[in-house]
Structure 1
Amino acid sequence: DVVVVGGGVVGWSVAYWLKVLEGSRHGMKVLVVERDPTYSRASTVLSVGGIRQQFSLPENIRMSRFSASFLRNINEHLGVPNEPPIDIQFQPSGYLFLASPQAAARLEATVQLQREEGAQVALLTPTQLKAKFPWIATEDVAVASYGLEDEGWFDPWTLLTAFRRKAISLGVHSCSGEVRGLILSDEHRVPLRGPASATARIKHVHVHMPDSLEYQPVTCAIVINAAGAWAGQLLEAAGLPGGLCQPPLPIQPRKRYVYSWHCPDGPGFSCPFLIDTTGAYFRRDGIAGNYLGGMSPPEEEEPDPGDLSVDDNFFQEQVWPRLARRVPAFESLRPRGAWAGYYDYNTFDRNGVLGPHPKVENLFLAAGFSGHGLQHAPAAGRALAELVVKGRYESLDLQRLGCRRLVEGEPLEEEGVV
């Protein structure tokens, strides 16, 4: 009935919620197709595992609040009888956003929106900031926002495997393979002509299996594109007529580095997830003086996403100096290692694209979260499953995250992308 393309945390969340919402009444058959069963290149498990309420778009704040509640009660949702309880190793610690004088008014307005949405966020003056975190240099900070609840970090792999294990226990099927073709019904094999409202329909998908020269056709009623960083390329490479790919899905793989270092005199157990005025970030990693951090490069300096090699010079030349200016103790840090992962980056407005495709009537999209897909997966999966099963949003109204904004050229900018 439903083929979910992509077995990351978003794809498995969709599959789980599909089975929960349809119950045992209809026996919906759901297949999750994942091309990398080792997850060695998966965005989910290569992330730093954060969750926060501090976003600038109401929909993102609401998804964060939903997901925080879901994670707090995760064993009620994803627990499997006769299996050990789930421990996602959640570390409660607020995100701390620092703002320069030029960005202070915008941060204050964003915090007001967050509070209106029910998030508990404090505004700190430089004096208050220094009193709470004496290790921070505050000379160029005008104001800071600090999350008071439902923020922190957790183990991404545990959440992914919990969704997968529960979904399979509910009857979801999975296979290792790559979807390389979306085959339309016979009457839609030619490029679209006529009114822009004309639509096509997928009849089956072509799954390329490992160690095989042949495709496995899978007939289905609905396809969900949860291919993450490769969601845009999937549609381009799947053999759809050109008219069905306009406008293109603006989702690209963007490589991001995560660096690890040790500093015995660094911030202690109360260390927040700090986002500097420069865009550099870090958080505590355990309690033994270890830290994780990084920074998104300028648009004109985006690294080649062709592989997951790490540029150590980027840390030495760009990240470390910014961190050391903010936390003087980091001047003597010792690098420990690094890895690279992918953002499914929405170049249009850095927000997820969620909902039906504008021209393929049985194709749904759940991708482009630009770095916050892990934390929003429980909410986004639920929302998309509601559209499929019930034809409407019920728990969260996420209509504005649909494709209409792409077609009409009206971006919903998210300022809080780290």
Structure 2
Amino acid sequence: MLQSFVRRSFWQTKRLSALSTECNFYSTKESDKNNDYVAKNIDLGNPDALDRMKRCLVRDMAELKRNLMFWKDFKNPAICEKTGRVIDWDDPHAPIFPNHCDIVIIGGGAIGSSVAYFTKLLGNKSLRVVVVEKDDSYKQASTVLSVGGLRQQFSLPENIEMSLYGAEFIRNANEFLGIEGEAPVDLQFHPYGYLSLATEETAEILQNNSALQRSLGAKNVLLSANQLKSKFPWLNVENIELGCLGLEKEGWFDPWMLLCSLKRKAYSLGVNFVKAEAVGFNFEFKSGTVVTGDYSEFETPNYLVVRTEDGKLRPITFSECVIAAGAFSGDVARMVQIGTKAHHKILSIPLPIEPRKRYVYCFHAPDGPGLNTPMTIDPSGMYFRREGLNNNYICGLSPEEHEEPATDNLDVDYEFFNNKIWPKLANRVPAFENLKVKSAWAGFYEYNTFDENGVIGYHPYHSNILFATGFSGHGIQKAPAVGRAVSELIKYSQYKTIDLSRLGFDRFITEQPLREVNIW
């Protein structure tokens, strides 16, 4: 064991010393673009080998004590659990900043944490995984601001299969994420199903979608207007031709609990969570490498530069990097030159992910429908469901393209509810005419402007960059399947559980969108 500590310490020292002389830093931020600035300000740590060996030994002994349950170690390497203060990475008694890892994941939400969990689960114990998250309070994270829906009512096989896998994972969360000696994992799953409504014009599409879903293992039933009225007397079925009701594995759950459970389990497996902001990448030139269609000098990202809470820039070398930064994944992709080189055949094509603001309103209706109310989706795209036991409900609606709100804040527009949502609610459920809005919140969709579907897999040029992003509001239920899929690519270089090849970056190059049909 001591031999491995010494070998790792000297290897890190050698690598960090080399970094100081090969700075080719690229960032999308003007303040970080100057290489001289970066070369002077990136904190490469203490290059003294004996000092780093000592600090590694201190850190590893702390981890050993934690595993023996003699010492409760830090839950977040950036915050001291004992004092609540930010850890000074230069303190020899603090955990060593992870300047090197095998896999670095940018984004610590549900998808990023799921990738970390599965990567450690499928990999060997020595695989070093680091998750970089700039806001560990998750105040603006899409994960915790979502409504936690779980359904298989999609028109693409990939999305149906991912949600089926997610349903098994969420319903049996304690088997996957439970930790011996700690409280059982309960994600507060409510199995009331989804109810998708269709007009005469869209009824055939709903039928076809339902048939595909059932062929892949989903459980749902088609109901005529009369059957809908009999089962849900509170529902106005005027202009409704058909409804599809999920019978199993559909409903909603607590997204915050899923995130916390994924992080806790990943941490117990040895994943290192770091509170820092990704600001750019360094590139290494490889003149001997030839890329198909590009015979110029090839360069590849070899380390990520992050800014920690103390304002210092620090490098993290990696073998592979996963971009799972949610609504801001497009910004991170530009840091690695994706979409920034106008005359490059591949790097001229951007990752088409951008933030879109969505509102969720909570209202009280004293005469509203009862506990068996499913997550109901109107033909207009407006949705609603119960929230708790006291006749409270939540609802939402995606705005038209020309009505998209600004994304520089998370302020809520209550006029959007009054003008766009309330009339649809009152029309579909007459009991909602007498309602009162109690609260509301806004969150970001990681919106794929190309086809509103997820992006998973390796970049065709940067072979050590992977994507796990762009699910346009459906990411929380797919997080377990995405984490599993990315970890399979890393370990086996192919998908084993679900074939998600069609969701790769290549479809942006070939201009072949993969769109859902009549799915909100």
User: With structure 2 as the length reference, what TM-score do the two structures score?
Assistant: 0.77
CA contact (8 A) 1:51 1:151 kept: yes
Match of 1:217? 315
Q: CA deviation at 1:182?
A: 1.9
Provide structure 2 residue ranges, at least 5 long, that are not aligned to the other structure: 1-101
Provide the C-alpha distance between the structure 2 equivalents of 1:315 and 1:279, rounded to a whole number of angstroms.
14
**Match for 1:80 among 175, 179, 186?**
179
Q: Is the 8 Å Cα contact of residues 286 and 300 (structure 2) preserved in structure 1?
A: no
Asked if residue 61 in structure 1 is aligned to residue 156 in structure 2, the reply is no
* Structure 1 residue 318: Cα displacement: 0.3
Q: Which residue of 2 aligns with 1:231?
A: 329
In 1: Cα distance, 2:414 partner to 2:362 partner: 11
- Aligned residue for 1:93, secondary structure, equals coil
CA deviation vs aligned residue, 1:142-173 (integer Å, no higher than 9, x gap): 11111010000010000000000000000000
Other-structure match for 1:168 = 267
1:261 — aligned with what?
363
> Of the candidates 304, 322, 325, which is equivalent to residue 205 of structure 1?
304
Question: 1:10 matched to which residue of 2?
Answer: 111
Contact 1:180 / 1:238 at 8 angstroms: preserved in 2? no
Q: 1:103 aligns with which of 178, 202, 218?
A: 202
Matched, 1:353 2:455: yes
Q: Distance in 1 between matches of 2:153 and 2:432?
A: 26
Write the letter of the residue equivalent to 1:414.
Answer: E
2:418 corresponding residue in structure 1: 316
The secondary structure found in structure 2 opposite 1:135 is coil
Within 1, Cα distance between the matches of 2:511 and 2:308?
38
Unaligned runs of 5+ in 1: none
Aligned partner (choices 285, 307, 311) of residue 186 of structure 1: 285
Partner of residue 38 from structure 1, selected from 124, 133, 137: 137
Q: Of 282, 302, 305, which residue of structure 1 is paired with 2:404?
A: 302
Alignment length (residue pairs): 412
1:331 to 433, 437, 460: 433
Paired position in structure 2 for 1:404: 506
Kindly report which structure 2 residues correspond to 1:19-34, keeping only aligned pairs within 5 A, or say none: 19-24=120-125, 27-34=126-133
Take 2:427 and 2:300, find their aligned partners in 1: how far apart are those partners? 55
Whole-Å separation in 1 of the counterparts to 2:299 and 2:189: 44
SS at match of 2:201: helix
Deviation string, structure 1 residues 181-220 (Cα, Å, up to 9, x no partner): 12221337xxx998259864221001011231x3111111
Q: Post-superposition shift, 1:72?
A: 1.8
TM-score (norm 1): 0.96
- Quick check: 2:485–2:497 contact (8 Å CA) kept in 1? yes
Q: Which amino acid aligns with 1:253?
A: P
SS of structure 1 residue aligned to 2:147: coil
- 8 Å CA contact 2:205–2:518 kept in 1: the answer is no
| 2:189–2:254 Cα contact (<8 Å) kept | yes
Instruction: State the Cα distance separating 1:117 from its structure 2 match.
Output: 1.1
Larger Rg: 2
**Residue 171 of structure 2 contacts residue 189 of structure 2 at CA under 8 Å; is this kept in 1?**
no
2:350 is the alignment partner of 1:248: yes
CA distance in 2, matches of 1:128, 1:274: 15
Map Cα deviations across residues 329-363 of structure 1 (whole Å, 9 max, x no partner).
00010110100001101111111000001111100
Q: Distance in 2 between matches of 1:158 and 1:46?
A: 12
**How many Å separate the matches in 2 of 1:54 and 1:238?**
35
Q: In 1, Cα distance between the equivalents of 2:260 and 2:114? A: 11
- Structure 2 distance, partners of 1:378, 1:253, is 22
Runs of 4+ in 1 over 4 A off after TM superposition: 196-200, 238-241
2:149 equivalent to 1:50: yes
Amino acid of the residue matched to residue 37 of structure 1? D
Structure 2 CA distance for partners of 1:200 and 1:113, relative to 1, 3 Å? farther
The offset of 1:415, in angstroms, is 3.2
CA contact 1:182–1:239 (8 Å) conserved in 2: no
Q: Which residue of 1 aligns with 2:78?
A: none
Mapped partners of 2:145, 2:299: distance in 1? 36
- Tell me the residue number matched to 1:390: 492
Q: Distance in 1 between matches of 2:378 and 2:117?
A: 37
| CA deviation string 1:42-68 (max 9, x = no partner) | 000000011001111000000011111
- Code of the residue aligned with 1:122 in structure 2: it is V
CA deviations on 1:82-128 (whole Å, 9 max, x unpaired) are 11111111101110011111111111111111111111111110000
Structure 1 residue 289 and structure 2 residue 391: aligned? yes
For the residues of structure 2 that align with 1:23 and 1:59, how far apart are their CA atoms? 28
Query: Could you say what secondary structure the match of 1:310 adopts?
Result: coil
State the match for 2:63 in structure 1: none
Change (3 A) 1:371 1:153: same
Farther off after superposition, 360-369 or 227-236: 227-236
CA distance change for structure 1 residues 200 and 117 in 2, over 3 Å: closer, same or farther?
farther
SS of corresponding position for 1:105: helix
Amino acid across the alignment from 2:107: G
| Bigger shift: residues 50-59 or 106-115 | 106-115
